[in-house]
Structure 1
Amino acid sequence: MKTISVHIDGVGLIGPGFANWPQAVQALTSTAEYAHAPAVIPPPAALPAAERRRTSATVKLALAVGAEAVQAAGRDAAQLAAVFAASGGDGENCHAICDMLAGEDRFISPTRFHNSVHNAPAGYWSIAAHAMAASHVLCAHDGSFAAGLLESACQAAVDGHDALLIASDTGYPHPLNAFRPIRDAFGTALVLAPIETARTLARIDIALTDAPATMLTRAPLEAIRTDNPAARALPLLEALAMRRRAAVVLDYLDELRVRIDVTPTDTRKETAQP
């Protein structure tokens, strides 16, 4: 695989102790002390009332981080091709459906069914953002963020258009959580551009590697990284927050990982000066 180079123009983030990307920057750069707290997911204000009442935490999380990244990048959400990455479907709805099937009354609510499928966030995003561009939905277990990044970066670099990556995962209730433990929700979104713009935060150069995944030096943040598949993005997000050159490796497949060289915009400008 050749190196893929794209630019990051916007970031969205919600997770344990992170209400948004600016708050996460403070914690990731040690500007403010990190304080662990359950993730708070806001209601999807962009959805019509009828759809808003039906949404699950999984959908709300994806829509919230996607909207934050798009706003930060100054883009029109309706025009962005989107990639949705998650390691599984909606845990709460999957649990409820299994519970119903195990009982005497096996009537499955249509709302529960359509919210349980893996592409539900993409459908709700198209309604909320009036998005007409193509969307892709993928799953690669703990490597789902890296898989989504590769897909969206290829779209931006090869097709020459902006792309939105939304990666998110929420947990499962008991007893499913014993087999797939995810303690808290985590979601992040990136707006990727083929060329540098006035909003560009950094250029990233992506390649495959067999090097070990980058671990975070602070134990509370490393615990989040390993607890939630979408949080495997944290080394990249930390590098973006620090705004300095860095090389990070993210989990992908068992024998293959993704290396990302991060070059912040202001670093390139400083390097170019005589």
Structure 2
Amino acid sequence: MSGTRDPSLRAAVRGIGLLGPGLVDWSLGQALLRDPTGWAVAPTVLAAPALLPPAERRRAGAIVKLSMAVADQACTQAGVDPHTLATVFTASSGDAANCHALCEALASAERAVSPTRFTNSVHNAAAGYWHIATTSRAPSSSLCAHDASFGAGLLEALTQSIALGRAVLLVAGDVPYPEPLQGVRPLPDAFGAALLLDATPGAPSLATLTLALSAAPASGCGHAGLDALRAGVPAARCLPLLQALARGGPAALVLDYLDGLSLDVRLEPPHARP
């Protein structure tokens, strides 16, 4: 109908980061996502973030290490200065080990909480460490939507990029809890991904991503192991999208979101961008 507004969101994907079981980074992981027959489960290795000053590096928990690793990959691939980037960090778990330690402290006779642990208990700790490391004063949002956290982050980052007319770095990550919380909220391993999204006209592009709400069932990865990882870690709900980006070319897929609601995603190669 004439005059009907397009409800979809559109932006260029300029950079990608990846870290998870058997997926050490985007550069090596994209080949395994293109052809999952060569992928095998291996524990996610989290390194101390070289970008952080020594004091902050010592305090950085698993979620900070994971988030900073994938964020740095996406920025490096895109060749952008992270000092200038607005960010959206999304996680269902936050700093899981710190949460466990705080619960232990509060259950003890002394009930004494370490100031450092209290500082790292906030959900935007990973974002804070990233902006400290990059000396960035750009806007930052931190989200949590339980199993829908990746979808919520993707919607937020796209909306911000369109509304603000600037590139936005989306960082999604989850890490397992120690027991006994792990028994209640089991996550098999750490997984993180980052997308640098840019809705400004003429932005450099690896692909153009168009997003709309849907009620269709979510797409799978076509591989039992990757689908188990996708189902087991909320941040890994992005795997079908990363798989399509790794394969290149046009693609249409559906991502998990809320109950009864999913995200319809379409990818176009750079030359096909309107």
Same fold, TM exceeding 0.5? yes
Check if 1:161 corresponds to 2:161: no
1:238 is aligned to 243
Classify the secondary structure of the residue corresponding to 2:236: helix
Check if 1:94 corresponds to 2:102: no
Rounded to whole Å, the distance in 1 between the matches of 2:49 and 2:143 is: 22
Number of aligned residues: 269
1:82 is aligned to 87
Rounded to whole Å, the distance in 2 between the matches of 1:182 and 1:117 is: 20
Rounded to whole Å, the distance in 1 between the matches of 2:37 and 2:229 is: 17
Deviation at 1:102, TM superposition (A): 1.4
For structure 1, the 5+ residue unaligned runs are none
1:46 and 1:129 in contact (8 A); partners too: yes
2:12 and 2:208 in contact (8 A); partners too: yes
For structure 2, the 5+ residue unaligned runs are 1-5
Rounded to whole Å, the distance in 2 between the matches of 1:57 and 1:31 is: 26
Classify the secondary structure of the residue corresponding to 2:106: helix
2:8 and 2:212 in contact (8 A); partners too: yes
Rounded to whole Å, the distance in 2 between the matches of 1:195 and 1:106 is: 50
Rounded to whole Å, the distance in 2 between the matches of 1:84 and 1:131 is: 14
Q: Which amino acid aligns with 1:235?
A: P
Classify the secondary structure of the residue corresponding to 2:38: coil
Q: Which moved more, 1:96-105 or 1:52-61?
A: 96-105
2:3 is aligned to none
1:24 is aligned to 29
Deviation at 1:93, TM superposition (A): 0.7
Q: Which amino acid aligns with 1:171?
A: P
1:103 is aligned to 108
Deviation at 1:196, TM superposition (A): 6.3
Deviation at 1:104, TM superposition (A): 1.6
Check if 1:68 corresponds to 2:83: no
Aligned residue among 261, 264, 269 for 1:264: 269
1:7 and 1:196 in contact (8 A); partners too: no
1:240 and 1:264 in contact (8 A); partners too: no
Classify the secondary structure of the residue corresponding to 1:7: strand
Q: Cα 1:88–1:31, aligned 2, differ >3 Å: closer, same or farther?
A: closer
1:78 and 1:129 in contact (8 A); partners too: yes
Aligned residue among 209, 213, 223 for 1:208: 213
1:10 and 1:199 in contact (8 A); partners too: no
Classify the secondary structure of the residue corresponding to 2:18: strand
The TM-score, its normalising length taken from structure 1, stands at: 0.94
Check if 1:4 corresponds to 2:9: yes
What is the RMSD computed on CA atoms of the aligned residues?
1.6
- Identity value in percent: 48
Q: Which amino acid aligns with 1:248?
A: L
Deviation at 1:32, TM superposition (A): 7.1
Rounded to whole Å, the distance in 1 between the matches of 2:45 and 2:36 is: 21
Deviation at 1:199, TM superposition (A): 4.2
Q: Which moved more, 1:226-235 or 1:107-116?
A: 107-116
